[in-house]
Amino acid sequence: MSAPSFRRRLALGTRVLAAELRLSSEGLLEGHVHEGEARRSLAAEAVRAPDGSVLLRVGGEAVRARVVRQGDVTTVVVGGRAYELRDAEQAAPGQAAAEEPFATSPMTGLVAKVSVAPGARVAAGAPLFIVEAMKMEYVVRATREVVVREVRRKAGEKVALGEVVVAFEASAAGRA
């Protein structure tokens, strides 16, 4: 009987980890992880709790984890802290360049104010728009001098994390 195995390339923040783990019929989880040039051996006894959480025992230490997979993100909560593993095939190969031709919302919320209009030339550091959620508001500023091409959300409208609110002319710099 071949042991069920877990082979995945996963991104954890900026780290990319390639895991190769097998579960024996006795509940022993064993294998390796590759990270860049490094290769580490891993082993733990694994139990699934009736509530669906996972218990790992390693060297007499017990760690309980709550794991939820949604889309290409696996969230692992350990000791109250949540870690997000992203399937690395889908993960961006590098961080997006600073000079995007648009400004996106840093959080899901409501647009509280838009300070610019199409055609406006905005200096680096000047406010573009304000997003508000719960008790907090966040001022999004131009990171360089830009010319506004389009404003896609107006004050009072909902906006999701990462959604474009203001687009720039491809003039000044960067990829168009």
Partner 1 sequence: MSGFPFTTVLVANRGEIALRVIRTLRVLGLRSVAVYSDADAGAPHVLAADRAVRIGPAPARESYLSIPALLQAVRDSGAQAVHPGYGFLSENAAFARALADAGVVFVGPPAEVLEASADKLTVKRRVAAGGVPVIPGPLGAVPDEPAALQAAARETGYPLLLKAAAGGGGKGMRVVREAGGLLEAAESARREAGGAFGSTVLYLERLVTDARHVEVQVLCDRHGQVRVLGERDCSLQRRHQKVLEEAPAPGLPPEQRRRVHEAGAAAARALGYVNAGTVEMLLDPEGRCWFLEVNRRLQVEHPVTEATFGVDLVAWQLRVAAGERLPPQDEFVARGHAVEARVYAEDPGQGFLPSCGRITALDVPEGPGLRVDGAWGVGQEVSPHYDPMLAKVIAHGATREEAFARLDDALARTAVTGVRTNVGYLRAILADPEVRAGRVAIDLLERRAGELAEPAAPADLVLLAAAAHALLRGAAVTAPAVGAAGAARATPDSPWQSLAGFRLGEPSR
User: Hey, which residues between 112 and 141 contact partner 1 (CB under 8 A)?
Assistant: 112-113, 132-139
Which positions from 9 through 28 interact with partner 1, judged by CB under 8 A? Answer: 10, 12-13, 15, 17, 19, 21, 23, 25-28
Site string for partner 1, 64-103 (x = CB under 8 A): xxxxxxx---xxxxxxxxxx-x------------------
Q: How far is the CB of 72 from partner 1 (least distance, A)?
A: 12
> Does position 158 bind partner 1 by CB under 8 A?
yes
Helix/strand/coil (H/E/C) assignment for every residue in the chain: CCCCEEEEEEEECCEEEEEEEEECCCCEEEEEEEECCEEEEEEEEEEECCCCCEEEEECCEEEEEEEEEECCEEEEEECCEEEEEEECCCCCCCCCCCCCCEEECCCCEEEEEECCCCCCEECCCCEEEEEEECCEEEEEECCCCEEEEEECCCCCCEECCCCEEEEECCCCCCCC
Q: Which is nearer to partner 1, 10 or 151 (CB)?
A: 10
Q: How far is the CB of 143 from partner 1 (least distance, A)?
A: 15
Q: How far is the CB of 173 from partner 1 (least distance, A)?
A: 25
> Does position 51 bind partner 1 by CB under 8 A?
yes
